[in-house]
Amino acid sequence: MRLAAIVFVLAAPTTLAGPVTRAAATLQPTKDSKAQGTVTFTKTSGGVRVQARIEGLTPGLHGFHIHEFGDCSAPDGSAAGSHFNPGAEPHAGRADAARHTGDLGNVEADATGVASLDYVDARSSFEGASSILGRGVIVHANPDDLKTQPTGNAGGRLACGVIGVAKGE
């Protein structure tokens, strides 16, 4: 029995595949929403590059966060839990020194309902306590005001996706 456990540990895919350098989430609409899209996360020297393209939004700003659970099973996206906050920091904007790891600010949808985002997040990681792997990505109905605790007053959840390891480029 011990030998089987040792073999399982040695054969674990993450052990043999090496360090994670890329992850992705496919955003699916929650109930009564049309929002959908993709988010990729790529390890860089400055942190994790976050690139997103989201469609089906109303024009304007929408809160965009990493949530604690990679569970999109609830019709309203609530199974993803709260913002990912391993450091017990206050809610804030992505440029603030003290913030949830999951505070990614807002995405802005244009007149056609499409939002794009491309920046490097120094807080996100694929290892340790700040690992975003297996977490949820949520797009909210309202703008994140970047100050109201603990959610930024961003409103309902329009889309949810789970961050999983992706093939490196």
Place of tokens 């120094």: 122
Identified catalytic residue from 62, 94, 100, 135: 100
Identified catalytic residue from 62, 65, 123, 135: 65
Residue 98: what pLDDT?
Answer: 87
Identified catalytic residue from 99, 103, 123, 135: 103
Q: Is the pTM of this model over 0.95?
A: no
Residue 40: what pLDDT?
Answer: 97
Does residue 146 lie within any of the structural domains? yes
How long a stretch of residues is the chain?
Answer: 169
Binning the chain into helix, strand and coil, the percentages to the nearest 5 are 10, 40, 50
Identified catalytic residue from 94, 123, 135, 157: 157
Residue 167: what pLDDT?
Answer: 84
Q: Decide if 83 is catalytic.
A: yes
Beta strands in the chain (DSSP E): 22-29, 36-44, 47-55, 60-67, 103-109, 115-121, 136-140, 157-162, 164-165
Does residue 145 lie within any of the structural domains? yes
Give dist(CA 103, CA 130) in Å, integer: 12
Give dist(CA 22, CA 64) in Å, integer: 19
Does residue 75 lie within any of the structural domains? yes
Q: Decide if 144 is catalytic.
A: no
Mean pLDDT by 10 residues, the chain (169 residues): 31 55 97 97 94 98 96 97 93 89 94 97 91 97 94 95 88
Does residue 147 lie within any of the structural domains? yes
Does residue 31 lie within any of the structural domains? yes
Does residue 8 lie within any of the structural domains? no
Q: Residue 151: which of 121, 108, 106 has the closest Cα? A: 106
CATH number at residue 49: 2.60.40.200
Does residue 157 lie within any of the structural domains? yes
Q: Decide if 103 is catalytic.
A: yes
Residue 169: what pLDDT?
Answer: 62
Identified catalytic residue from 83, 94, 99, 123: 83
Q: Are 54 and 36 in contact (CB under 8 A)?
A: yes
Identified catalytic residue from 121, 123, 140, 144: 140
Continuous H helices in the chain:
2-11, 13-17
Q: Decide if 62 is catalytic.
A: no
Residue 2: what pLDDT?
Answer: 31
- Residue 16 identity (one-letter amino acid): L
Q: Tell me the residue range of the domain where 87 lies.
A: 19-165
Count of structural domains within the chain: 1
Q: Decide if 91 is catalytic.
A: yes
Residue 6: what pLDDT?
Answer: 32
Q: Decide if 65 is catalytic.
A: yes
